[in-house]
Structure 1
Amino acid sequence: MGRGSKDKRDIYYRQAKEEGYRARSAFKLLQLDEEFDIFRNVERVVDLCAAPGSWSQVLSQKLRPTENDRVKIVAVDLQAMAPLPGVIQMQGDITKEATAQEIVQHFDGGYADLVVSDGAPDVTGLHDIDEYVQSQLILAALNISTHVLKRGGTFIAKIFRGRDVQLLYAQLETFFDVVTCSKPRSSRNSSIEAFVVCVGYNPPEGYTPHMSNPLLDHDYDKYENALVGVNRAIVPFLACGDLNCFDSDKTYPLADGAVLKAPTQTPISPPYAKAVRLKKEAAVGLGNVHVERATDSATENQ
């Protein structure tokens, strides 16, 4: 992509590069903190689906402004991630119980005060499919949170808001006292993404966390059918910010003295690397076919 097109990206993309964040998504977590004060009295945090690490950067800056051994941040992802100061990195699958056990070991047997997840699948553009896959990812993140989150803790995750999201809300309300759906101003208006902020972890009486059913699709009938229709789960929605703030769907001029910088951290092992390699191999193979055909044609003309 050319330099000129980079200049036209939204204000949060350029501001993230100027301030050294690995992705513009850092501002989403910062704005959620402005609205909900999620970092108060937090010393142990788990960042699920952490790569490339922008949320871990925010957590490190907010919770460890100075060297503080009491604060521990564990970042988990299947992909490799460049090191960050004060962040313990793990490559693991959030649907595996071994991952949950390793997280707890990093906390010396304690539990997390806060679990965050900014993970999302590779979108297809088909909203129904994207919403379903994202909801399963949230449930997997919620399930591992039941192993590592202390009572009264907070869980934050990206969600795709759609027409069939009520069951997911009902499942979250089963485990938390307060569930709020929020859209920070740095989240593009054209996107269906939002974030669920779940406060006060309080699992049902007798609930035992386990990984044999990572999507939590057991019987929720007595919870979800207490009400019917759209009133089955009433979740408040909060849009962070106001009309005086930057609109992430618009383009603003660079500030005076601002310098366009390269991304702070490029992907170490991007998931599309295999696709790029196969495309190059296919192009080379196609080129060889054209050469062979041209040679055959020249031979026939002779």
Structure 2
Amino acid sequence: MSRGGSGARTRVKTGRGRTASSTRWLARQLNDPYVRRAKAEGYRSRAAYKLIELDERFHLLKGVSRVIDLGIAPGGWSQVVRRTAPKAAIVGIDLLPVDPIDGVTIFQMDFMDDAAPDLLTEALGGKADLVLSDMAANTTGHPQTDHLRTMALVETGCAFAADILRPGGAYVAKVLAGGADNDLVAELKRLFTTVKHAKPPASRKDSSEWYVIAQGFKGRAQPARENNDAP
């Protein structure tokens, strides 16, 4: 799969009412080969290629029949799942509105809402093969605060994945530079047979995002039953 593009770079002039930072953002978008490719191939965002590249490496979408997409907006990841596994049931959630995607059930609400897990579970109609999370907390400009807020989403997603995944399933979540912290990695290793960090080529080099890929869900340990027959 080609990673780059050819041709001259597009220069963007600072227009009336446009700040220098917005001009730089627009120039980056116009000259980004992933943005151009997403437009040409019908994906809603360049983020679709992050999942495509992660799937090439970890085979996340092979044989999936039920998938949860946390932080679905604008829908690029679910589009990838639909094209790769067209018969799979897909349920997504996001605070932001998302245009309908054929074959995908979408809820516009906060995943941290107490009602969200039950809604997602009921809509999926069975145990998931894969839980995807591209969620990230709104940035404050304070790296430590941003990291803690995003990790809270990752941890909540992990707890949800442990409830809804079938044995052998996988959980993929966006984390920031440095990856998942030690406590979360320990929990993931307890729940999954393999836990790795990856930064797909489509993730911009200047971005702090990485992804944690946990595969081979071991299943929830059943609590010991009390023996009520003892004299």
> What TM-score does the superposition give when structure 2 sets the normalisation length?
0.79
Q: Which runs of 5+ in 2 are unaligned?
A: 1-21, 224-231
Q: 1:96 to 1:143 in 2, by over 3 A?
A: farther
Change (3 A) 1:49 1:8: closer
Q: Deviations over 1:129-155 (max 9, x none)?
A: 221111111011112222221121100
Change (3 A) 1:44 1:164: closer
SS class of match (1:40): coil
How many Å apart are 1:61 and its aligned residue?
1.2
1:255-285 CA-to-partner distances (Å, cap 9, x unmatched) read xxxxxxxxxxxxxxxxxxxxxxxxxxxxxxx
Q: Which residue of structure 1 lines up, in the alignment, with residue 216 of structure 2?
A: 200
Seen in structure 2, the aligned counterparts of structure 1 residues 6 and 164 have a Cα distance that, compared at 3 Å, is: closer
Q: Quick check: 1:75–1:89 contact (8 Å CA) kept in 2?
A: yes
From 113, 120, 130, give the equivalent of 2:136.
120
Q: Distance in 2 between matches of 1:131 and 1:43?
A: 32
Counterpart Cα distance in 2 of 1:163 and 1:195: 7
The percentage of aligned residue pairs carrying the same residue is 35
Per the alignment, residue 13 of structure 2 pairs with none
Report the Cα distance in structure 2 between the residues aligned to 1:151 and 1:7, rounded to whole angstroms: 40
Question: Is the contact between residue 94 and residue 100 of structure 1 (CA under 8 Å) also seen in structure 2?
Answer: yes
Partner of 1:235: none
Report deviation, 1:49: 1.0
Contact 2:196–2:212 (CA under 8 A) maintained in structure 1: yes
1:111 is matched with which residue?
Answer: 127
Is 1:77 matched with 2:94?
yes
What are the within-5 Å matches in structure 2 for residues 151-166 of structure 1?
A: 151-162=167-178, 165-166=181-182
**d(CA) in 2 for partners of 1:164 and 1:98?**
26
Pick the aligned partner of 1:27 from 45, 49, 60. Answer: 49
Counterparts of residues 134-149 of structure 1 (less than 5 Å) = 134-149=150-165
In the alignment, what sits opposite 1:59?
81
- Indicate the residue corresponding to 2:14 in structure 1: none
**What is the one-letter code of the residue matched to 2:121?**
V
Alignment of 1:96-107 (within 5 A): 96-107=113-124
**How much does 1:47 deviate?**
0.3
State the partner residue of 1:87: 104
Q: In structure 1, what is the Cα distance between the partners aligned to 2:138 and 2:217? A: 29
Aligned residues: 201
SS of equivalent to 1:136 = helix
2:72 is matched by which residue type in structure 1?
A: A
Equivalent of 2:186, from 167, 170, 173?
170
Offset at residue 6 of structure 1 (A): 6.1
TM-score, with structure 1 as normaliser: 0.61
Q: Does 1:48 align with 2:48?
A: no
